[in-house]
Structure 1
Amino acid sequence: MRDDVPAPADGTPRTVLMCPGQGAYLPGVLRHLGDVPSVSRVLGAVEAHSSALGGTGPPVGALLTDVAAPGPDRLVRTHPLAFDLATYAAVVACSTVLLDLAAPPVHAVLGHSVGDLAALTVAGAITLEQGVRLLHVRDGLLRDAALPAAGLLATDLPPESAADLLHAEGLREVRIAACNAPRQTVLAGPDDELAAVRRTVRALGRRATPLTSRTAYHHPLLTDVHRAFRRLLRAQPVAPPALAVHTATTAGPARTPAQLRTVAAAHLTEPMALHRTLRAMRLAGFTTYLDSGPRALLSTLAKAGLPGCTTAAPFRTPAGVDHVRNRLTAALR
């Protein structure tokens, strides 16, 4: 444990498992883990539940175990539901491996954007079948909404600078979707206005990267979809979670069934403040942050937001169980 990270009052370091959203899809990411029983159970269950609901498109198992599967940009254009299901299955499957290997044990989950659905599943608040059903329902709502072309843009601007730029440029339809780190702000809005923002940000010598996304999540464009999704969520049973559930949309944990249902829908319209959530978790005694996705996306943000914290990203590149265990041990040593 690092000296500049406060320890819990009882002296026990706490560990959180971070569940990323759309960035978690990587073709063949589970190709070395397909035979792990917990992973094969997740992939099989997601495919079975999706088929029962009339799902079409590439099988989730093939997308996650075949390196030649379609890349994120192509898949989200051609089979957006398959993209969502593969993202969800990858995070849940990787999380089952980490829960088996982690020492000390995991005390909480932290969802990021649509990764909240995976976090709720890993914590035991909803089942895999519910998670798949919710993604199918959400897909239908998004298709029926006839939304304008819209998306997400990641910048290296502080949130205050991003807000000033949007005001100065008169881009009223672009909103701050996420404050992920002191110098990572994600913007959401119609494609034409995002293109204008991108040109302006790059002219300033800063980074502006379009993110793979079927629409502008965390934006008022999805208000009607959000309302319909929330109505459907009221009928969903929610179990008491075995792990504390945190989300980037609020500073504290979700405890009640109503709060947990709110978490499931938050990614549609609610802006994220991951940096705020991470600071609150550190004050609550969380010292170690495990990333359940590829490319170390959330662990990188945790390092940026919490200097001195301990992070591990054992799936940063595809690996088998032994390599995952070794990476985890080395990071937590």
Structure 2
Amino acid sequence: MPQTPLAGPVTAASAADRARCRGAAARHASRPVALLLPGQGSQYPRMTAGLYGTVAAFTEALDEVFDAMGREGARIRADWLAEQSELPMDHVLRAQPLLFAVDYALGRTVESWGVRPAALLGHSIGELAAATLAGVFSVHDAAHVVLDRVVRLAHSPPGGMIAVAASADQLAPFLDCEVVVAAVNAPLQTVLAGPEGALRAVGERLRVRGVAVRPVPALSPFHSPAIAPYAMGATAVLASVARHSPAVPIHSCATAAPLTAREIADPVYWAAQPVAKVRFWPALQGLLASGEFSLVEAGPGRGLSLLARQHPAVRRGDSGVLPLSPRRVRGPEDEVATLDAARQALRRELEPRA
């Protein structure tokens, strides 16, 4: 597929994105960049496909992942680009490998602009993309780990996830051994997960009480005990691949702290990662307590950007938020224009000031 430099027509929506980017960049010069890498729930059909074959660095990195996945990678790529996919995009065999691949490719794209991230924060499968960008895993080994993980999880019982406008403490009376807190995304944004029937019952009880509930695009109960028997079998596979010290600090959503050398070396940590609760908000608090950052969401959608904008450090203007994907995708030109706007904003922000 031909590869050309980053370019594309500018739509009205992308012009607004450019204006916001210019404003954010003008307020703070030379803030270090931290990449936010999203996970399950951020996927949508043909996500970022408008960049493929158009943005050289993105295309090269994505093909690197698909090639490392072998024949399965070719099937995943074909399904991703097809108008009608063979498997639903929310299926574990599609969403997880594609989110990993897209997060990784967008991270490499940012690096191709001459931007060296000072920190990485990955949500769910995004943490594995962060570890690969930081050099903990090679692309080949990470691809092997991702495929092994999703094949195992594909055998887990049907289930799902729901996002609830309430705190984890407020939801405690509604939970049991089946339905649990899967993610703490913000003070009043919590994700629950569990088997299909049990999760539906909890969602109905919450709606009756006037609590806002919406489904998360997932066909599996990620980050819940329901998948633990299937996920933990990955320990032997993870023990067989090399793990290295990260070139960039990785802030863990499992521990809400930078990953330690011990955790990086522990195959059980990585095997348990799809089961462990995602503590995105505490991890973000830890990151922003360490300094001011330009938070660049390197993944599809703007879910993590919306969450990060709730943080006091961002509301004050100490740190900024910059998504690489458009709010709405009307065509491939929107994805290209939004990425170009982000590139220009980061270039201006990193320019030396007199």
TM-score of the aligned structures, taking structure 1 as reference length: 0.83
- SS of 2:72's partner is coil
1:125 matches 2:136: yes
The corresponding residue for 1:100 is 112
Residue 312 of structure 1: aligned partner:
322
Q: Confirm or deny: 8 A CA contact 2:308 2:321 kept in the other structure.
A: yes
1:277 has 2:283 as partner: yes
Mapped pair 1:60 → 2:77: yes
2:51–2:58 CA contact under 8 A, matched in 1: no
| 3-state DSSP of counterpart to 2:51 | coil
Amino acid at match of 2:106: C
- SS at 1:269's partner residue? coil
- Return the alpha-carbon distance in structure 2 between the equivalents of residues 61 and 147 of structure 1: 25
CA contact (8 A) 2:39 2:126 kept: yes
In the superposition, relative to structure 1, how do residues 123 and 91 fare at CA in structure 2: closer, same or farther (>3 Å)?
same
Letter in 2 for 1:74: P
Q: Does 1:252 align with 2:257?
A: yes
Q: In 2, are the aligned partners of 1:238 and 1:257 still within 8 Å (CA)? A: no
- Which residue in the other structure is 1:19 paired with? 37
* Paired residue type of 2:191: V
Give, as a single letter, the amino acid of the residue that structure 2 aligns with 1:124.
G
In 1, Cα distance between the equivalents of 2:93 and 2:74?
Answer: 8
Q: Give the alignment's Cα RMSD to 1 decimal.
A: 2.9
Q: Partners in 1 of 2:199 and 2:250 — Cα distance?
A: 32
Which residue in the other structure is 1:110 paired with?
Answer: 121
Of 136, 146, 157, 1:148 maps to 157
Quick one: which amino acid aligns to residue 174 of structure 2? Answer: L
* C-alpha spacing 1:139/1:214, structure 2 compared with 1 (3 Å): same
**Conserved? CA contact 1:46–1:60, under 8 Å:** no
3-state SS of paired residue (1:304): coil
Q: Distance in 2 between matches of 1:125 and 1:23?
A: 25
Residue in 2 aligned with 1:235?
240
Q: Could you tell me whether the CA contact under 8 Å between 1:15 and 1:289 is conserved in 2?
A: yes
Taking structure 2 as the reference length, what is the TM-score of the superposition? 0.78
Match of 1:46 in 2: 65
The correspondence for 1:221, drawn from 218, 222, 226, is: 226
Percent of aligned positions with the same letter in both sequences? 24
Q: Distance in 1 between matches of 2:309 and 2:270?
A: 26
Deviations 1:293-323 (A, max 9, x none): 2221111111123433310012134545564
Q: What are the superposed Cα offsets for residues 236-289 of structure 1, whole Å, 9 maximum, x if unpaired?
A: 101222211112111211131643645533432211211111111111114221
How many pairs align? Answer: 312
Unaligned runs of 5+ in 1: none
Rounded to whole Å, the distance in 1 between the matches of 2:114 and 2:41 is 23
- Counterpart of 2:308 (choices 302, 309, 316) is 302
- Does structure 2 conserve the Cα–Cα contact (< 8 Å) formed by 1:24 and 1:91? no
